[in-house]
């Protein structure tokens, strides 16, 4: 149980890190790029709150009473379409581009962490909860990886390659 509690705390820290990166990127960006990152920040806040709920219930010595795995599955997730303009705007702002790079790593780490937590969980609903979070984070990872890869060509076009 101690290992699971520590794993949940680590996951909450990771979710807060993601909220911070996405929120900062949303503040720096404009239009649909800002909206994309604001939505990701909101999703990561939701993840944090789900983890916090589980943590508090486990800390109180009870098994979580709600089936959050089912709640996660009911949340609609639509993959956005990344236009050339979207990718160019991401590439043209070094802070936003760096946020994408950082977020790719955070999402991959979160995916792997939740998979490990699912393996550690003894209760079926905890296992399902962490598997659901892992799947959700994998979708984020795949989207961000696509942005990173597809905006790369625009990044090279946008940069002036001048000395600092």
Distances in whole angstroms, Cα of residue 159 to Cα of each of 6, 35, 37, 86, 155: 42, 24, 22, 16, 6
- 58-to-1, 61, 64, 135 alpha-carbon distances in Å: 9, 5, 7, 23
* pLDDT value for 127: 86
**Vertex 112: Cα angle to 102 and 48 (nearest 5):** 70
Query: Which range is least confidently modeled, 2-6, 59-63, 76-80, 143-147?
Result: 76-80
Look at residue 82 in the predicted model and tell me its pLDDT.
83
Residue 126 Cα to chain centre, angstroms? 19
Task: Map out the domains of the chain as residue ranges.
Answer: 2-158
Q: Is the pLDDT of residue 137 over 60?
A: yes
Phi-psi region of 64 (alpha: psi -120 to 50; beta: other; left: phi over 0): beta
Mean pLDDT of the chain: 85
The pTM (predicted TM-score) of the whole model is: 0.79
Whether the per-residue pLDDT at 11 is higher than 60: the answer is: yes
Q: Tell me the CATH class for 2-158.
A: mainly alpha
């Amino acid at each position: 149980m101690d290992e699971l509690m520590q794993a949940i705390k680590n996951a909450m820290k990771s979710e807060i890190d993601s909220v911070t990166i996405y929120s900062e990127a949303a503040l720096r960006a404009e239009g649909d790029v800002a909206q994309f990152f604001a939505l990701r920040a909101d999703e990561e806040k939701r993840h944090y709150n789900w983890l916090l709920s589980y943590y508090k219930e486990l800390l109180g010595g009870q098994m979580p009473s709600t089936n959050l795995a089912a709640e996660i599955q009911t949340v609609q997730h639509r993959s956005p379409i990344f236009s050339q303009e979207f990718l160019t705007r991401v590439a043209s702002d070094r802070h936003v581009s760096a946020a994408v790079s950082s977020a790719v790593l955070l999402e991959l780490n979160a995916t792997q962490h939740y998979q490990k937590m699912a393996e550690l969980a003894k209760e079926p609903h905890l296992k399902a909860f962490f598997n659901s979070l892992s799947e959700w984070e994998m979708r984020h990872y795949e989207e961000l990886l696509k942005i990173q890869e597809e905006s790369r060509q625009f990044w090279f076009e946008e940069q002036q390659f001048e000395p600092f």
